[in-house]
Amino acid sequence: MRDLVAETQLDVRHLVAPLFVREGISEPQPIESLPGVVQHTRDSLREEVRQLADLGVRAVILFGVPCIKDSIGSGAFDPEGIVQVALRDLAADVGDRVVLMADLCVDEYTDHGHCGVLDGPAGHPDTSVDNDATLDVYARIAVAQADAGAHVVAPSGMMDGQVGVIRAALDAAGHQQVAILAYSAKYASGLYGPFRDAVDCSIVGEGDRKAYQQDWRNAREAMVEVEADLAQGADMVMVKPALSYLDIIAAVKARVDVPVAAYHVSGEYAMIKAAAANGWIDHDAVATEQLTAIRRAGADLILTYFTRWFAESVAAGKST
Ligand code: PBG
């Protein structure tokens, strides 16, 4: 009877698997703070995505870890950059059955670790991220990712005007069908720590991302960001992280008529893994409870490192 009347459904088709691909390695590298997640080689990524597709997973989002980082993050738009190469592989393998998303940002590719181009020397107290100079770089990344086969680009840098610039660049390059999943309400969270290990990213000096990511004390500000992204052409909007921001997910869902995504981020995953490894909580129960809560709050799709585990549980007939 509980199943008969349950209000919220959590299904594999709601989940998007975030995957890391690293340039220049011959074996997948484990990520200590993200148990069960690896930095893939080109080949292991292909195999992983084939398996995910066979498990019914409908979408993946790629993050690249380049060999060489520089001040503007040029590896992010190089046609031979790691994500572009990986997208071409995946488009050939599974492009007809898996939605290929690409995170669009430069923090994995810059030697200073910021999500944009700087207006002065890295680490100097007067140096800021140059919003408008960064937009030119994002436009180039969008076109490079779309040329390589991305179906969806997902700008995550929180620069003002990024969605509009990316839409115009995609259209001008003949990529009218490529969609934009905007990380619209992205908070300056402490929960991204393991992700920064995953992409070997650390911010030079005393810096943080508080000048461009949102303040966790604010909810109305998230609505301004979402509205701005929609006005500029976003096809889907995202709230990130998820669990500390269920109120924001619910408010965005009530406000907009496009699909709403939520990112269950690295720290949220790592907390469950760590507590479960200590025997303090039941891994499967808590993971299912949390993902269901994100759906209940209103997320249509969830980006989560639990995607493979959930798909395997469903395939094994475990009750969720
Ligand atoms: C930025 C980006 C970040 C994450 C996704 N895209 C890191 C950041 O803003 O510091 C974090 C995802 C996670 O923690 O799982 N390119």
CATH number of 90's domain: 3.20.20.70
pLDDT of residue 211: 85
Residues in Cβ contact with 233 at an 8 Å cutoff, skipping those fewer than 6 apart? 163, 164, 167, 180
Query: Is it the case that residue 320 has pLDDT exceeding 70?
Result: no
107-138 in b/e form (b: 16+ CB < 10 A) is: bbbbebbbbbbbeeebeeeebebbbeebbebb
Annotated catalytic residue 210: no
Residue 274 CA to residue 283 CA, distance in Å, equals 9
Mutation probe of ligand 1 site: the residue of 107, 114, 302 with most atoms within 8 A of C-beta: 107
Residue with CA at minimum distance from ligand 1 atom 8: 192
Query: Is it the case that residue 9 has pLDDT exceeding 70?
Result: yes
Residue 262 belongs to a domain: yes
From the candidates 69, 210, 240, 318, which is the catalytic residue? Answer: 240
Residue with CA at minimum distance from ligand 1 atom 16: 105
Residue with CA at minimum distance from ligand 1 atom 2: 156
Residue 52 belongs to a domain: yes
Domain of 109, in residue numbers:
10-315
Residue 4 belongs to a domain: no
pLDDT in tens, 213-242: 999 999 999 999 999 999 999 999 999 999
More confident residue, 241 or 127: 241
Neighbour-count burial of 170, counting CB atoms closer than 10 A to its CB (0-12 exposed, 13-18 middle, 19+ buried)? buried
Residue 88 belongs to a domain: yes
pLDDT of residue 318: 84
Annotated catalytic residue 186: yes
Residue 3 belongs to a domain: no
Kindly state the percentage of the chain with pLDDT values over 70. Answer: 99
pLDDT of residue 181: 98
Structural domain count of the chain: 1
275 CA distance to ligand 1 middle (Å): 22
Q: How far is CA 225 from the centre of its chain?
A: 17
Residue 2 belongs to a domain: no
Residue 279 belongs to a domain: yes
Report the mean per-residue pLDDT for the chain: 96
pTM of the predicted structure, to 2 decimals: 0.97
Cβ–ligand 1 distance for 306 under 6 Å, the answer: no
pLDDT of residue 201: 80
Residue 149 belongs to a domain: yes
6 CA distance to ligand 1 middle (Å): 33
